[in-house]
Amino acid sequence: MYNSKISGLGFYVPDNVVTNNDLSKVMDTNDDWIQERTGIKERRHVVKGSGETTTTMGVKAAQKAIERAGIDKNDIDFIVFATLSPDYYFPGPGVLVQRDLGLDTVGALDVRNQCSGFIYGISVADQYIKSGMYSNVLVIGSELHSHGLDMTTRGRGVSVIFGDGAGAAILTRETDVNKGILSTHLHSEGQHAEELSLIAPGMGKRWVTDILQDNDPADESYFPYMNGQFVFKNAVVRFSEVIMEGLQKNGLHPTDIDLLVPHQANLRISQFIQKKFGLADDQVYNNIMSYGNTTAASIPIALTEAWENNRVNPGDLVVLAAFGSGFTWGSAIIRW
Ligand code: UT7
């Protein structure tokens, strides 16, 4: 039996910074509202026509993670790619990464778990490594939200929150079972599937031929929908539960946490969790102020940044936790 450890991390965000004031020029919003309700000051948006996609950003993040892991790209045994904004409806971006990185014909799996996607992704990778099947798995979380947002006042409750970017991790076999990923915990509650969703272009709603015929610009089902307050209330409960579940599974307590890296959904959610677990400011890593909510990319971006800023050190207990659309939520307990 093995454990898996995170041996390399990388992230990539587009250069184009979009401030709250920039958004107030295209919709009825303002810096005060956005900062007070979400903590976000700015986010990155891919520039139209730049050719950047969810996959290209994911590849850039992956290249950094591979380099930092000190492995050759041909040592990668498997790819897991988490996103809600794939380049194509199908195939998913996993195979595009296999192609663009020039890897051998390794397996590529796409994860459709939105904000929890990266935690689901590392959980899958961890099981492959624990079982001895693979030695190095590349896990990517990447999102290109900006092309799909309603950038008018109609969409302001959602569109000001999300940003573009990608993060990646290499999970590598670890022979010391007291190190690396100690456990992961995954949950779902599909009863609330539509409370945070993008209904179109799913096949459940209409025939594609009808959609093409209707071509209705007033059709909001092509934009993400979020019942903000309902999602918020569920998030604070599930975040707390799944962090506690992970700690208890390992005989640990909130006081053992060195660094909590929560999915960057809303600064107020992170602050609520911080208070609930009695953590100091330096025990929680937040960067939603700079990047907004980048969904499946938010944890690997934040974890990479924390690592780059020496906030993660050998022996530390690092806790990752996420909640989002599905609803799905999860946690990972890591001894660095
Ligand atoms: O990552 C996945 C998980 N996501 C989350 O966990 C997000 C959870 N929810 C949230 O973060 C918050 O609910 C939001 C930030 C989305 C919204 O904050 P809120 O405090 O729940 O505001 P609200 O939706 O209740 O809206 C309050 C008011 C409304 O106006 P009225 O009806 O009170 O007149 C909105 O129309 O704020 C208005 N509003 C805005 N005003 C300026 C909504 N969006 C905006 C905006 N700028 N961008």
Among residues 20, 45, 113, 115, which one is catalytic? 115
Ligand 1 pocket residue status of 37, Cβ below 6 Å: yes
115 is catalytic: yes
Q: What is the pLDDT of residue 211?
A: 72
**CA of residue 232 to ligand 1 center, whole Å:** 10
Predicted local distance difference test score (pLDDT) of residue 216? 77
Residue 269: per-residue pLDDT: 98
pLDDT of residue 70: 98
pLDDT at 214: 75
Backbone angles phi, psi at 309, to 5 degrees: -95, 20
pLDDT value of residue 213: 77
pLDDT for the residue 207: 73
Q: Return the CATH class of domain 181-197+222-335.
A: alpha beta
Q: Which two structure tokens, joined as six digits, stand for 97?
A: 């990464």
Domain span(s) for CATH 3.40.47.10 in the chain: 3-176, 181-197+222-335
Helices (H), the chain: 20-24, 31-38, 54-69, 93-100, 117-130, 156-159, 208-214, 228-249, 267-276, 288-291, 298-308
Task: Compute, in angstroms, the gap from residue 28 CA to the centroid of ligand 1.
Answer: 13
Q: Is the separation of the CB atoms in 22 and 251 below 8 Å? A: no
Ligand 1 atom nearest 266 alpha carbon: 11
Nearest residue to 257 (alpha-carbon basis) of 283, 282, 234, 280: 283
The answer, yes or no, to whether any atom of ligand 1 lies below 6 A from the CB of 159, is no
Q: Give the mutation target among 232, 238, 267, 323 for probing the ligand 1 site: most ligand atoms within 8 A of CB.
A: 232
Split the chain (336 residues) into runs of 10 and give each run's mean pLDDT: 96 98 98 98 96 98 98 98 97 98 98 98 98 98 96 96 98 96 98 95 75 77 93 98 98 98 98 98 98 98 98 98 98 98
**C-alpha 297 – ligand 1 centre gap (Å):** 22
- Residue 66 one-letter amino acid: I
146: Cβ below 6 Å to ligand 1?
A: no
Instruction: Please state, in angstroms and rounded to a whole number, the distance separating the CA atoms of residues 235 and 188.
Output: 12
Quick check: is 227 catalytic? no
250 is catalytic: no
Task: Write 148-152 long-range contacts (CB < 8 A, 24+).
Answer: 148/85, 148/198, 148/222, 148/223, 148/224, 149/223, 149/224, 150/220, 150/223, 151/23, 151/26, 151/27, 152/26, 152/27
The hierarchical CATH code for the domain 3-176 is 3.40.47.10
Assign residue 274 a region (left: φ > 0; alpha: ψ between -120 and 50; beta: otherwise). Answer: alpha
Residue 286 CA, ligand 1 centroid: distance in Å: 20
Whole-number pLDDT of residue 141: 98
Q: Is the Cβ atom of 235 under 6 angstroms away from ligand 1?
A: yes
**pLDDT of 221:** 84
